[in-house]
Amino acid sequence: MEKIIGFRNILIHKYFGVDYETTWFIIKEELPKLKQTVEKILKELDNDIFFGAPNIQQLKTFKKDSVVYDV
């Protein structure tokens, strides 16, 4: 997670210091791995009855102060 945050900070704050070759490598090679990991975690949460985790639909839409936010 720290690497993701660090990379985001470089992209956002070092406009002219971004290494495009490294950025493209991360987009092509690392993001698909991250997506698979996140999907696996969400699937496990959806199936986690013991801990009473909310299902994915409940996580996608939640209410706060009578306003519905879609995530």
Tokens of 68: 């519905």
Tokens of 60: 């996608």
Tokens of 23: 């950025």
Residue 36 in contact with residue 45, Cβ under 8 Å?
Answer: no
Dist CA 7 CA 30 (whole Å): 12
pLDDT exceeds cutoff 70 at 71: no
| Residues classed as catalytic | 8, 13
What backbone torsions phi and psi does residue 33 show, to the nearest 5 degrees? -65, -45
The mean pLDDT value of the chain amounts to: 76
Tens of pLDDT along 31-59? 999 999 988 888 887 766 555 555 666 66
- Spell out the domain ranges in the chain: 2-70
Distance of CA 44 to the CA centre of its chain: 15
